[in-house]
Structure 1
Amino acid sequence: MSLSETVSKIDRLSDEQRDCIENCNEAAEVSEWCADECLGDEEMEQCARLCRDVADLTSLHARFMARGSNYSTALAEACAGACEECAEECARHDAEHCQVCADVLRECAQSCRDMMSA
């Protein structure tokens, strides 16, 4: 069963929450990949650090939404901010993993903001 099929079975979630869970999980995965690719390059240390923060925040936020936590909305703000900051850092680098990461993180940040305003 795919992630979207699993998430669709959680009846209490809004469409915005479903999208946000999927985007947060994708952001966590791509951020881990980007951080791993950046390791060992001194010029990429800030990128790796931010990616690791984003991976932790987005995976936590997805879990909070899935269980209906009262803290999900507050965490969405932190998650969106971290995604935006990391996307800006990733966009500064020419590496493909950084460019892919920046695109995914921008989408995740918007998804978190959409979830908060729904």
Structure 2
Amino acid sequence: MALSEIDHLTDEQRDCIDNCFEATQACEWCADECAGEDGDMARCIRLCRDVADLASQHARFMARNSNYSEQLAEACAGACEECAEECSRHDHDHCQLCADVLEDCAESCRSMIAS
């Protein structure tokens, strides 16, 4: 079944699910790449792992029409913003890409809450 066929989802929720899964992938990749970088990347790795877990959980909660989706959206948006700020401090391509993806995810989570 395609995401567009889940009839209880709003357009904002569909966008948010897409952005959450993209954030999950970007954060998993970024954390893995950071593990091989010189310097202290522990905070970046930790935040990326947190976002990957929160974003994938949030997408699953939206898909099943959970009553906790809005609270998880708030947590996900906050974690995305904190992680994006950390990633943007590093010059690595994977960190910069991750920061961009996370900014979009945070924005879509906040739009979903507002709708």
Q: Give 3-state SS (helix, strand or coil) of 2:41's partner.
A: helix
1:20 is displaced (CA, Å) by: 0.2
One-letter code aligned to 1:26: E
Q: Write out the 4+ residue segments of structure 1 that deviate beyond 2 Å after TM superposition.
A: none
Residue 20 (structure 1) aligned with residue 20 (structure 2): no
Deviations 1:66-111 (A, max 9, x none): 0000000000000000000000000000000000000000000000
Alignment partner, residue 71 of structure 1: 68
Q: Which runs of 5+ in 2 are unaligned?
A: none
Residue 53 (structure 1) aligned with residue 50 (structure 2): yes
Deviations 1:4-49 (A, max 9, x none): x821110110000000000000000000000000114441110000
Task: Give the TM-score normalised by structure 1.
Answer: 0.94
Aligned residues: 114
Alignment partner, residue 33 of structure 1: 29
* 1:8 aligns with one of 4, 9, 12: 4
- Please tell me the root mean square deviation across aligned C-alpha atoms, in Å: 1.0
| CA distance in 1 between partners of 2:25 and 2:69 (Å) | 20
| CA distance in 1 between partners of 2:5 and 2:61 (Å) | 16
Residue 43 (structure 1) aligned with residue 58 (structure 2): no
| CA distance in 2 between partners of 1:84 and 1:114 (Å) | 14
